[in-house]
């Protein structure tokens, strides 16, 4: 099977920008170095991306700082800033088909996901924060009669964002939209595997009226460009989504440099608990499967630890396996495909390595477990389920970031709570039960930033998103996200 004709046709419908966007202009890496952009759909090269390093980051920081100090954005009247951001959202919406295609080409998730979810959610995110700009008030304190105390929010200045490849433009928008709305100038360092939509979005931002230097994008290797951004002495905050290992490095860079603020979203190993009194086994089985197989499991909230009460485990897992077996990996560019490619060959091999380890440590393979569609040249792994998993096994403790469910049995509610919390992560969790006491007790017992009851991944832009424990700290989405991008200033005026 070959998908190359589809890739070639899709490439004709998109605008590919590969150079850094600094100070309102596309510019190659100062070193002249480039990185190949490989589409995981068929393994072919679709572009050469500028491989930026510290020199390019420095230029971007200078451009961002100059734009910030000039006040061209930071001091723009709120209503006007709101209008420009709404125009930016409109531009993204007008180019949503193109951006969806570009995202799918770049990182291999099904076009139905990028078209129906990722890009519309980017539009929604920008609009949400744009609308907030002229609706949020500062505070007056309860001061004595001869004084006025004001508590005001001010932008931080220059914000750096290092973002991942799994929802490339959406995760980026969770950073740049609130950062821009609060008047900051921003430098984005997208993941090298999937930088194309962010580069194109920066161009659309400029067309919408975001001034030069306010939104910069510097692609390149994380260990060079990302590290330089996080270590830069003139960057006021670094916000990050990615692995816990890199999150720890970023915190260190902040401490080693200028004590810049850091916020981290670092993934998870989320438990999804099915009690024997689950109100709807079919709905729960479908949710359990999609909680891991959506976007091929490359989702930080994926419910990869499926905790099932032993009394119903065999029957329930059979239902989940039926969903998995019906999900055939397919061409991500085909509108009917629901299960696409992994982001690159490295990630595919990482996932296959975890599958091998699961078997070696004694877990029982129920389905999947192998590479699929290898004749296409792309990077596909079949939906995979392991039963008989012990929570201490590697596949129950480490984030696989692929389509692998680790099913773990438990005896009673307390047992489930113990296993659920036995992880270094704390991003998300879910419980399916008809018992209100269990629902409430689990919600308050599990140490995670998001808990779902009788559903999975219920959320929208109005609710905060982030983790406990080594899943990081700081919140994306909702008005709470604005805290990350503003300083709180107290002004006390003595009256005569």
Give me the residues that bind ligand NDP (CB under 6 A), please.
162-166, 189, 191-192, 221-223, 226-227, 230, 241-243, 246, 249-250, 265-267, 300, 350, 399, 401
Q: Which is nearer to ligand NDP, 223 or 318 (CB)?
A: 223
**Structural contact between residues 297 and 304, judged by C-beta atoms closer than 8 angstroms:** yes
CA pair distance 340, 300, nearest whole angstrom: 17
Question: Which CB, 110 or 267, lies closer to ligand NDP?
Answer: 267
Q: Which residues pair with 264 in a beta bridge?
A: 240, 473
* CB nearer ligand NDP, residue 59 or residue 130: 59
CB count within 10 Å of CB 319 equals: 15
Nearer residue to ligand NDP within complex by CB, 130 or 202: 202
Could you tell me the smallest distance in angstroms from the CB atom of residue 265 to ligand NDP? 6
Residue 85, classified by CB atoms within 10 Å of its CB into exposed (0-12), middle (13-18) or buried (19+), is: buried
Catalytic residue among 192, 203, 265, 399: 265
Catalytic residue among 52, 266, 300, 367: 300
Pairing of strands 34-38, 45-50: antiparallel
Give me the least distance between CB of 302 and ligand NDP, in Å please.
Answer: 10
E-assigned strands of 11-90?
Answer: 20-22, 25-27, 34-38, 45-50
* Minimum distance of ligand NDP from residue 229's CB (angstroms): 7
Q: Is 265 a catalytic residue?
A: yes
**Residue 106 C-beta: closest distance to ligand NDP, Å:** 13
- Sequence-ordered alpha helix ranges (H) in 302-457: 313-326, 345-360, 394-397, 413-421, 436-445
DSSP assignment letter at 216 = E
Residue nearest to ligand NDP (CB): 222
Q: Report the nearest approach of ligand NDP to the CB of residue 246 (Å).
A: 3
Handedness of CA 264, 476, 51, 54 (dihedral sign): negative
Tell me how far apart the alpha carbons of residues 483 and 385 are, in angstroms, rounded to a whole number: 40
> Between 273 and 427, whose beta carbon lies closer to ligand NDP?
427
Q: How far is the CB of 195 from ligand NDP (least distance, A)?
A: 8
Helix (H, G, I), strand (E, B) or coil at 185: strand
76 vs 262, beta carbon nearer ligand NDP: 262
Which of 48, 203, 196 shows the shortest CA–CA distance to 114? Answer: 196
* Cα–chain center distance at 175: 10
Q: Which residues contact 244 (CB under 8 A, 6 or more apart)?
A: 266, 267, 399, 424, 425, 470, 471, 472
Query: Which residues are known catalytic residues?
Result: 265, 300
């Amino acid at each position: 099977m070959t998908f190359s004709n589809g890739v070639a046709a899709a490439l004709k419908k998109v605008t590919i920008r590969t150079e850094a966007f600094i100070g309102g202009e596309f510019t190659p890496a100062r070193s002249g170095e480039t990185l190949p952009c490989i589409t995981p759909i068929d393994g072919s090269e679709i572009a050469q991306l500028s491989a930026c390093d510290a020199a390019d980051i420095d230029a971007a920081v200078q451009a961002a700082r100059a734009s910030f100090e000039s006040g061209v954005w930071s001091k723009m009247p709120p209503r006007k800033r709101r209008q420009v951001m709404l125009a930016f959202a409109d531009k993204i919406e007008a180019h949503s088909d193109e951006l969806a295609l570009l995202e799918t080409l770049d990182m291999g998730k099904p076009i139905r996901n990028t078209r129906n979810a990722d890009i519309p959610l980017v539009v929604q995110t920008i609009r949400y924060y744009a609308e907030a700009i002229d609706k949020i008030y500062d505070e007056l304190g309860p001061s004595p009669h001869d004084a006025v105390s004001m508590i005001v929010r001010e932008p931080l200045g220059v914000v750096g964002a290092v973002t991942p490849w799994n929802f490339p433009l959406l995760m980026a928008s969770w950073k740049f939209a609130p950062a821009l709305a609060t008047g900051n100038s921003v430098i984005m360092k997208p993941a090298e595997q999937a930088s194309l939509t962010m580069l194109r979005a920066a161009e659309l931002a400029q067309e919408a009226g975001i001034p030069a230097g306010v939104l910069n994008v510097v692609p390149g290797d994380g260990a060079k460009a990302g590290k330089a951004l996080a270590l830069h002495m003139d960057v006021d905050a670094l916000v990050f989504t990615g692995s816990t290992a890199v999150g720890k490095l970023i915190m260190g860079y902040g401490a080693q440099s200028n004590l810049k603020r850091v916020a981290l979203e670092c993934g998870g190993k989320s438990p999804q608990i099915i009690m024997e009194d689950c109100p709807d086994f079919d709905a729960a089985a479908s949710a359990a499967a999609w909680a891991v197989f959506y976007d091929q499991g490359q989702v930080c909230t994926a419910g990869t630890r499926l905790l099932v009460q032993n009394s119903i485990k065999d029957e329930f897992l059979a239902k989940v396996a039926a969903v998995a077996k019906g999900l055939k990996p397919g061409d991500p560019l085909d509108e009917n495909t629901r299960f696409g490619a992994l982001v690159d060959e490295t990630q595919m091999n990482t996932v296959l390595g975890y599958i091998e380890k699961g078997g070696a440590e004694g877990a029982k393979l129920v389905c999947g477990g192998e590479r699929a569609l290898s004749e296409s040249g792309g990077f596909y792994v079949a939906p995979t389920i392991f039963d008989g998993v012990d929570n201490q096994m590697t596949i129950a403790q480490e984030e696989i970031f692929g389509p692998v469910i680790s099913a773990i049995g438990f005896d009673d509610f307390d047992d489930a709570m113990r296993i659920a919390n036995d992880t270094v992560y704390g991003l998300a969790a879910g419980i399916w039960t008809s018992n209100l006491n269990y629902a409430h007790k689990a919600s308050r017992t599990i140490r995670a930033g998001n808990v779902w009851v009788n559903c999975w991944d219920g959320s929208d832009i109005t609710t905060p998103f982030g983790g406990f424990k080594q899943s990081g700290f700081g919140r994306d989405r909702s008005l709470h996200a604005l805290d990350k991008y503003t300083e709180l200033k107290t002004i006390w005026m003595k009256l005569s």
